[in-house]
Amino acid sequence: MIAPFTLHDLPLLKRLAKVHVALCPIEALTRPSSPLWTALLSLWSLDEARLSTFVLNEQGRDGRSMHGFAQVKQPSSRPEMYIQYMSPRLDADEDARAAWTRLLSHVAAAAGERGVQRIYACAPDGTEEMEILLGAGFSVYCREEIFRLVPGAHPQAVAQAGIRPEQSTDAWAISQLYRATAPHLVQQAESLAESDTIKWLCGPVAWNQGEGFVLEDQAGIAGYGFLMPGRTGHWLRFLVHSRAGDGGTVLLDHSLALLNYYPTHPVYCAVREYQGRLRAPLAERGFDLVSVQCRLVKHTTARIKEPARSLVPALEKRAEAPTTTVSPTEGP
């Protein structure tokens, strides 16, 4: 049986949390949290994102048990869901693959019930986790290389001219920059509205966190950078138009200068496969490639609730059947 987390599941979740897998790398690297603590908070959460933990607790007729959980986050403003954690690890239990398959199917059904249209997850390229996600109906829409700059290797950098802090009035221009740089398949998968673009750059953990900055030229905004500070690491994301030349280098140096004001932690930068021009400046500044992640999406069939329909007055009134009157026949 799979059901939402309750306090009755606390002992089981405490055990399963020791063998979980993170399917949201930015959260795992910059703001790791305990799935157990997250599940408890979700019972009383006032956050704009809806947190849900689905617990699998099943005893078979043969005496074997199957346990696991899936933890997801759903923003209130968009019809989408993000898988944060899954348990158990695939090498921790012989029934782990079956548990994942059951849980992913349940997540999809729950998403449809809530009107969610897209479910997102990340997994390292070529792994068993990715294989199971593909088997559950997910598809890869882009790959990301994650680069890391270790503490102590932070190069000296100064704030760059021509870059200014992001303003609320930049939303439309940044959305146009995204549409000019992201392939059509990526845009379809992410289905971003103008107001969502900035938040999406670092995923659900950064919906209300971080600072953005823009690079301008005579034609408008040619580059955008986003810095999300974290407890155990900092995250960088960039959008750079092809006309910007070395704009990626300028944005990177500006972000490194901003990091002088934050605690010393590893710095991560996610580079999508269509942003290859960022690799060289990252390497020159001491960043190392540590992981290749696949971003996956599953489109769901959301349940649509329609209001009860009433017939128009002309059809509400049924035609009356003709009445035959039988009169006694008068005698001669």
Residue 238's nearest CA partner among 266, 277, 264 is 277
C-beta neighbour count of 332 within 10 angstroms: 2
Q: Which has the higher per-residue pLDDT, 327 or 243?
A: 243
Contact 301, 268 (CB under 8 A): no
Decide if pLDDT at 331 tops 70.
no
User: What mean pLDDT is reported for the chain?
Assistant: 85
Q: What is the mean pLDDT of residues 203-232?
A: 84
Q: How confident is the model at residue 16 (pLDDT cuts 50, 70, 90)?
A: very high
Decide if pLDDT at 144 tops 50.
yes
Q: How confident is the model at residue 109 (pLDDT cuts 50, 70, 90)?
A: very high
Q: What is the mean pLDDT of residues 92-118?
A: 93
Query: Which residues of the chain does CATH 3.40.630.30 include?
Result: 2-143, 154-285
Secondary-structure breakdown of the chain: helix, strand, coil percentages, each rounded to the nearest 5: 35, 30, 35
Q: What is the mean pLDDT of residues 24-48?
A: 83
Decide if pLDDT at 323 tops 50.
no
Query: 154-285 — its CATH code?
Result: 3.40.630.30
Compute, in degrees rounded to 10, the torsion defined by CA atoms 175, 179, 181, 183. Answer: 140
Specify the CATH architecture of the domain 2-143.
Answer: 3-Layer(aba) Sandwich (3.40)
Q: Does an H or E element contain 37, and which? A: helix 35-42
Q: What is the mean pLDDT of residues 301-309?
A: 54
Distance CA(146)–CA(29), nearest Å, equals 11
Residue 35: what pLDDT? Answer: 92
Q: Which of 57-61, 142-146, 152-156 has the highest mean pLDDT?
A: 142-146
Distance CA(317)–CA(17), nearest Å, equals 62
